[in-house]
Amino acid sequence: RVAGGGNAVRAVACLPALTGAWRDPAGGALLSSSGTYPVDTQALERPDLIRGTPRTINMSAIGDALTAAEPPVRAIFVYNSNPVAVAPESAKVTRGFARDDLFCVVHDLFQTDTADYADILLPATSQLEHFDVHASYGHLHVQANQPSIAPLGEALPNTEVFRRLAARMGFDDPCLSESDETLARGAFDWSAPRMQGITFDSLVQRGFHRLNVDASYAPFANGGFPTPSGKCELWSETMRAQGGDPLPAVVLPRESRLTDPARAARYPLAFISPPARNFLNSSFANLPSFVAEERSPRLLIHPDDAAPRRIVDGTRVKVYNDRGAFVANAEVTARARRGVVVAPSIWWRKLAPGGENANAVTSQALTDLGRAATFYDCLVDVAAVDAAA
């Protein structure tokens, strides 16, 4: 969210994306459980306080925002995120964060790749040091998080930093000084059917409550889709009204031999970077035990793609395109499809050989629906490091 207008400092806050999965106890398919919770987004986000039409910046294009936006972004406050590691097209991201005229504040528990660019690094509390309420990714229990210890040193939770900033900046709306307990009380619609039998006070006392749903809960088994008809709509009138195709359709990648043959001639391999088994985005990727489990950045490549490049198991390779390059150890395996290379991710740049990770090659292009990142719409080539030198 960017604050602007008048002489106000223009700043952008980086927010994390929350995702998750859950398996129906009856053996159904994987679903997200996060949408099951009746979160009161209006109470938490307070859109009624927005004045005018402030500029907004998509974090997936933060590299362009920090290097080319007009008017330029002059200040950035980063919390709950590590954009230097996780945002696409790293070269632009790092160039933006390295600007001498960008005032950068990072609030974190760790000296992340992004924290290395901070003018001010603020210590954040861990889950053990602050009060919160939690929904979930993979189960159906709402939880109260009680602090186990007092905050260490000068560490503060996000909420306290925001309260202090609001006070120092002269914002006096009462909601900006609300306590963590007040914020937590407003986080859910406690009158919703799924919260029946649960109150804030009982949650705090007990620690957790299962949502009021059936034991074999499957959210769309009998319809109930968030569509005007309540059905799974193969023809979407909503999409048609928005100017989109009302029917499911194939949308080809921007970078492929069919849509961009000139690029494919230079970079013939499709590139994907799914989560490494021991990391969660860039979380845990600095912990020695998990780094030891992952050993080093890897690139899975099919034997038919490896052979003409003189790549064998363990070869140090460079993965590259016109956006950048990073180094990994080759794993020659038929688990990768022909024409596709796979880099389990995401490594902190400072812990990766050569100081780059998979986002050196990914694109800032956005999806047409939802304006999300297109990390997997990417063409590269691969060469043994000696051959690429």
Reported as a single tens digit per residue, the pLDDT across 25-71 is: 333 345 678 888 999 999 999 999 999 999 999 999 999 999 999 99
> Could you give the angle at the alpha carbon of 160 between the alpha carbons of 158 and 163, nearest 5°?
110
Answer yes or no: are the C-beta atoms of 118 and 87 closer than 8 Å: no
pTM (predicted TM-score): 0.85
- C-alpha to C-alpha distance for 272 and 293, rounded to whole angstroms: 21
Answer yes or no: are the C-beta atoms of 76 and 103 closer than 8 Å: yes
pLDDT value for 388: 46
By C-alpha distance, which of 105, 205, 207, 109 is closest to 157?
109
- The contacts of residue 135 (CB under 8 Å, 6+ apart) are 33, 34, 36, 37, 39, 142
By C-alpha distance, which of 35, 23, 39 is closest to 139?
23
pLDDT value for 22: 37
- C-alpha to C-alpha distance for 378 and 319, rounded to whole angstroms: 12
pLDDT value for 387: 52
Peptide bond into 301 cis (omega under 30): no
Tens of pLDDT along the chain (389 residues) come to 233 333 333 333 333 333 333 333 333 345 678 888 999 999 999 999 999 999 999 999 999 999 999 999 999 999 999 999 999 999 999 999 999 999 999 999 999 999 999 999 999 999 999 999 999 888 899 999 999 999 999 999 999 999 999 999 999 999 999 999 999 999 999 999 999 999 999 999 999 999 999 888 888 888 888 888 888 889 998 889 988 899 998 889 999 999 999 999 999 999 999 998 888 888 888 888 888 888 999 999 999 999 999 999 999 999 999 999 999 999 999 999 999 999 999 999 999 999 999 999 999 999 988 888 999 999 999 999 975 43
Q: Which residue has the tokens 């769309």?
A: 220
The gap from C-alpha 332 to its chain's centroid, in whole angstroms, comes to 29
pLDDT value for 220: 83
By C-alpha distance, which of 53, 229, 52, 39 is closest to 134?
39
Beta strands in the chain (DSSP E): 2-3, 11-14, 22-23, 30-31, 75-79, 103-108, 120-123, 132-134, 141-145, 208-210, 269-272, 298-301, 316-321, 324-332, 340-342, 379-384
